[in-house]
Amino acid sequence: MSAFFIVLASTLVGTVLSCVLACLPGLHVYNIMGLLVMFIYLLADYQIILPPEAYLPFMAGMIVGWSMLNTIPAVLLGAPDESAIFTVLPGQKYLMFGRGFEGTMITGVGGLAGLFILIFIIAPLAPILLPLLQSVLRPYMGAIIWVIITFILMSEWPKGGNTGPAGFAKFFDAWKSLAAGLLTFLLAGFMGFILLYRSPISTEMAFQNIMPAFVGLFAIPWCLLNILSAAEVPEQHIADSLDVDAATILRSAASGGLGGSFAAFFPVVTGGVGGLLAGHATAQRDERVFIMSQGVSKLIYYTGAFMFFFVPGLGLTRGGGAWIMKSLYTPQTSYDYLMILGAIAIAGGVSYLMMEPLTRGVIVLIRKFNYRYISLIALGIIMLLVFLVTSWVGLFIMLVGTGIGLLPVLFASRRLNCLGILLLPIACNMSGFGPTIAAWLHLV
Amino acid sequence: MKGIAHFASGVAAATFFPWTLAAAQEGNPLYFILGGAFGILPDTLDFKFYRFFYKHDIYIEPVPNETTPQDIADRIAAGVALAMDREKMVRIKLSTIRLGADYWQQYTVKFDAEKQQVMVKFGPVVNTGQVPVPGTEPEKGAVGRAALPCPLHITYDASSNVDIFDGPTFGFKKDNQNGMTFHFLPWHREWSHALTMGVFFSLLLLPFLGWRAALVIVAAYSAHVLEDQLGFMGSNLFFPFTKSRAQGVHIMRSGDSLPNFTTVWLSCLLMFWNMYRFQAAPLHAIGFFQIIFWGGILPVGFFWLVMKWLTRNSKTAGHETIDTSEWEESVSV
């Protein structure tokens, strides 16, 4: 079979597989990619060597498909109850208005806009601009991460203290959520230090070191919230058209494009952080713009970070996908870059086409089965995956992460504070005082 | 301006000092952090601290489905009358009307200086994103009107929407022109938004952080105050030597997307330029105007033109305004 057909076939298989997997709540594509890399190594032990044309486009398809479609469970399987309404995303409000289909399709349009930006704007400019940015910004990466941390911590808004007479009662009411946010960040940061300096995960599974903690911080609280939620999901309306115009798409593309590109380029900065910064910077209020820009940002962050790995002569490794690939392959020429771009373009188109049938499918599923049971099954699958990859110790880490991850849920603070697990230890390390703090904590 | 715009300009201001960049290259992010933190600090002081301790003379807390627009208008007018008898400012707190977990009854308060009256009208129910809930827009809702006992001099917008979370504070103080001056959010941009406060904080931290940090603090804090002066509300620039806010220059509104984004983007370009020129041996040759043109004017200008074209038929394109033109035709109660 010619290289073209191998690339095409592996892209399509990777895309379709990840599109289906993306519908499972809490499952991350990097976990699956990690397992696939293990499988490729296993094959190599049996003298079965896969060509890069087989697994690189496959991985690209996996990332594109997942980043385009993982909004489906985020919107359709995340019904908030009354008490949690201030902490939920506009996508979930769409669900509660019976417009979940519209909400997911709007992010799909955002994903498509992100794909356009990536292929037609970022990809041609990346080999020219990224080396310049890299050479100028590299000495300041540590300081930039600290600046981002400062902004995350200082920009959270008090959610209480809106009524009643002036005084400390009002002040404390307002500061409950802010204090919980700070505590979450510090606890997550402390956990990050432990995992970085004295991880209980076995060395064979070191590349999945952070996975159980992430599952605990983000996925488990979400599943638990769904299971315990008192909300009933209303009948979902399948809209004939989307309530978006060209101006909305342009605003979303600008906001999400900036956030996603920022997150893809800078180390440790995730799509959520990029989205937060871009949302603030562009002063967006329209919920449609918010939802769509998340679609743009997510696609550019995940796919862009993976794509940057293949930019000729750059040597930039950002995001879990690129780090997993680094253990398997070192990009060499522009052949790799062009192959990956082709795979991304095809995967983007295919995954967008799969968005509508899969969204309809999940809507049928939640109509037939209570979404709490679906969340329960998802919880079981995630826990099983954590156990298979990291054993009992991983489950313990996950449990600790869940405790921290529930804080923002209970106190209506930002969930983004959980990213202290990455931001704090890595910022300390980049500034050179990480080992000193680890020594204070008796971790080294 | 939005927090991120002040934050970014604070960091940008810090990068103009060579010691900021030199320290960051050696792993010390202190000056970067100080730039951002003191860039956003004036708003942090107001919105996360001061406003919770600010005492009001009158609290208007409308009861859902009970309080009418006329009730609110009457109480505001009563507050203005109270201010006639006092030397000190009368502060009126308007609370929001929460209808459910994510629903708020929006209402608009408008002061008509010409007719010497205050008008209140209920608008649609909005969600926490301030987006109207479909089907709740009143067609020709009742307008509450109350006559004011004296001429009113308005220093900010004559109309204010009250909808989500915390409602606004109105201040009324007798002026020298036999009338009353209206102050919007009198607790905001008071002492916290003074250039002198930047100096105060820098002197406070001077013994602990040194003169370099003190200069960064003054620069970042001043950047915030001066940026805010571009808007409508203005700031009390030299507190405690000045007692009231100096009028802003009315170039932009704090919530407008384009000025906020332009500030953030320009700050990023300035940071980049400072980092670039601080390199010992730059690998690439670029100039300041190249960065500004290719990185700023071209993309932002292109975006602005396309947006202008796409929203050419939209009434509110550009910035958020409160349209009260149809109120005159509404039925009074």
Of all residues in chain B, the one with the smallest CA distance to A163 is B95
pLDDT band with cut points at 50, 70 and 90 for residue A417:
very high
With b meaning 16 or more CB within 10 Å and e meaning fewer, what string describes A190-222?
A: bbbbbbbbebebeeebebbbbbbbbbbbbbbbb
Residue B261 has pLDDT above 60, yes or no: yes
What does DSSP say about strands B169-174 and B180-184: parallel, antiparallel, or unpaired?
antiparallel
Nearest Cα of chain B lies from the Cα of A137 at a distance, in angstroms, of 7
Closest-CA distance, A124 to chain B, in angstroms, reads 16
CA-CA-CA-CA torsion sign (A294, A299, A305, A311): negative
CA distance B19 to B25: 10
Contact flag A174-B48 (C-beta cutoff 8 Å): yes
Tell me how close the Cα of B267 comes to any Cα of chain A, in angstroms: 11
Chains A & B: contacts with CB separation below 8 Å? 152
Contact B52 A161 (CB under 8 A): yes
Could A82 and B261 be called an inter-chain contact, meaning their C-beta atoms sit closer than 8 Å?
Answer: no
Q: Are A111 and A247 in contact (CB under 8 A)?
A: no
Q: Using alpha carbons, list the distances in angstroms from residue B309 to A246, A247, A377, B252, B302.
A: 10, 9, 49, 20, 11
Q: What is the mean pLDDT of chain A?
A: 87
Range in A5-19, A22-36, A146-160, A429-443 the model is least confident about:
A22-36
Entry field: residues in chain A = 444
* A287 to B25: CB separation less than 8 angstroms, yes or no: no
What is the C-alpha radius of gyration for chain A, rounded to an integer number of angstroms? 21
- B104-133: average pLDDT: 86
CA B5 vs. chain centroid, Å, equals 12
Which residues in chain A touch residue B5, judged by CB atoms under 8 angstroms apart?
281
Q: How far apart are the first and last CA of chain B?
A: 38
Cα–Cα dist A74/A217, whole Å:
15
| pLDDT tops 50 at residue B333 | no
Say yes or no for a CB contact (<8 Å) between A163 and B25.
no
Nearest to A431 among B27, B256, B261 (CB): B27
- pLDDT band (50, 70, 90) for residue A236: confident
Range from A106-120, A135-149, A210-224, B34-48 carrying the lowest mean pLDDT: A210-224
The predicted structure's pLDDT at residue A279: 76
Our CA-based measurement puts residue A372 at a distance from the nearest CA of chain B, in whole angstroms, of 22
Highest mean pLDDT among A212-221, A368-377, B42-51, B323-332: B42-51
pLDDT at A165: 85
Q: Choose between B314 and B148: higher pLDDT.
A: B148
d(CA A222, CA A205): 25
∠ CA A136-B36-A424, nearest 5°, is: 75
Q: What is the largest CA-CA distance in chain B?
A: 74
Cβ–Cβ below 8 Å for B3 and A246: no
Give chain B's mean pLDDT.
Answer: 87
Nearest CA in chain B to A84: B101
The CA distance from A271 to A319, in Å, is: 10
ipTM, 2 dp: 0.88
pLDDT at A158 over 50: yes
- pLDDT tens digit string along A192-225? 999 999 888 877 766 677 888 988 998 888 888 8
Interface check A239 vs B, CB under 8 A: no
Q: Using CB atoms, pick whichever of B4, B56, B314 lies closest to residue A280.
A: B4
Q: What percent of chain A has pLDDT over 90?
A: 43
Give B-chain residues touching A285 at CB under 8 angstroms.
Answer: 129-131
- List chain A residues with CB under 8 Å of B265: 281
Tell me: the pLDDT tens digits for A339-383? 999 999 999 999 999 999 999 999 998 888 877 888 888 888 888
Q: What is the pTM of this model?
A: 0.88
* pLDDT tens figures, A280-321: 777 666 778 888 888 899 999 999 999 999 998 888 888 888
